[in-house]
């Protein structure tokens, strides 16, 4: 039995995967999203992979990719281009191109763009039952990446961030 090919639909922002199945897309051709605080990201046009999530997040210097948190599922991060700062368990570590960070379940972390230009990070994480925890962190707060209060609720953790992500055309890779 042959696997089904996914339907790809065009949009002003780029290609969107509209159905389950296999597909091939160029990162520069898929729809991306932008947040004024949290940078730009794509999940390769659908975000509905059943077994794991995968995407690329592009951060400008000083932009956090989210709020400092831990998850009950593992995640992995590979810096594709540029530099970023990893805040992990309230320690700062500088990451550069091709540095890999494995985030075991329960590890508090966040990434912040650093260096002279954009930082592109491949992000992969397990799907399924996943509980998030957003602790208070003085280190993450220096980068605008600490939740205003300790919580397990994303909407509470992000209540001080304006708006949401907006669809955009890819600006990376250049």
136 vs 43, higher pLDDT: 136
Q: Residue 24 above 90 pLDDT?
A: yes
Measured between alpha carbons, how far is 75 from 53 in angstroms, rounded to an integer?
Answer: 9
157 φ, ψ to 5°? -65, -35
Mean per-residue pLDDT over the chain, rounded = 93
pLDDT tens for 30-71 read 999 999 999 999 987 666 677 888 999 999 999 999 999 999
pLDDT at residue number 30: 92
pLDDT at residue number 145: 97
CA angle centred on 112, ends 109 and 116, rounded to 5°: 155
pLDDT at residue number 51: 82
- Tell me which of 1.10.150.240, 2.60.40.10, 2.60.120.10, 2.60.120.920 is the CATH number of domain 50-162: 2.60.120.10
């Amino acid at each position: 039995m042959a696997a089904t090919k996914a339907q790809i639909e065009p949009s002003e922002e780029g290609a969107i995967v509209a159905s389950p199945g296999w597909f091939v897309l160029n990162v520069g051709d898929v729809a991306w999203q932008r947040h004024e605080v949290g940078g730009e990201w794509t999940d390769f046009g659908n975000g509905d992979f059943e077994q794991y999530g995968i995407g690329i997040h592009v951060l400008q210097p000083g932009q956090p990719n989210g709020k400092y948190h831990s998850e009950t599922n593992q995640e992995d991060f590979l810096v594709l281009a540029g530099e970023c700062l990893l805040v992990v368990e309230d320690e700062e570590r500088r990451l550069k191109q091709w540095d890999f960070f494995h985030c075991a379940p329960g590890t508090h972390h966040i990434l912040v763009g650093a260096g002279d230009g954009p930082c592109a990070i491949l992000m992969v994480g397990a799907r399924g039952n996943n509980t998030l925890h957003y602790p208070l962190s003085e280190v993450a707060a220096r980068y605008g990446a600490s939740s205003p209060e300790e919580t397990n609720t994303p909407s509470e953790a992000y209540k001080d961030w304006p708006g949401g992500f907006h669809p955009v055309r890819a600006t990376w890779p250049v």
